[in-house]
Amino acid sequence: MSNFDVAHIREQGQQMIIVPLNSNFHFQTPTQRQATIDALQACARSARLAGRVVPVWLHAGSMYFIAPSQWRPFFQSLSWNDIMANINGTLTCTDR
């Protein structure tokens, strides 16, 4: 089992499941990243969390994220501390 802190928020009329990840996520290939996102999304669905998973991570002092293009301005306005201050749950996923 893996546990992930999440910030489950509603912004711009959308449910967002923001998942801070380890900086190693930065070095994954696009295919690996998408597989991680898909697994987290499936886990969130199983936990009955509504919304879209958005991974965020720190690398070399900068915050990165993968989100729909219409959400980019919102995520670009956030700092890592903003996200961490909004953590309001834990997502527990079964390892495969």
pLDDT bin (cut points 50, 70, 90) of residue 12 is: confident
CB 17 within 8 A of CB 49: yes
pLDDT at 95: 73
pLDDT at 96: 58
Task: Identify the CA nearest to 68 among candidates 45, 52, 57, 56.
Answer: 52
pLDDT at 53: 98
CB 74 within 8 A of CB 11: yes
Give CA–CA dist 74/47, Å, rounded.
25
Residue 7 CA to chain centroid, in angstroms?
8
Mean pLDDT to the nearest integer, 58-85: 97
- Which pTM does this prediction carry? 0.94
pLDDT bin (cut points 50, 70, 90) of residue 21 is: very high
pLDDT in tens, 39-69: 999 999 999 999 999 999 999 999 999 999 9
Average pLDDT, rounded, for the chain = 96
pLDDT at 44: 98
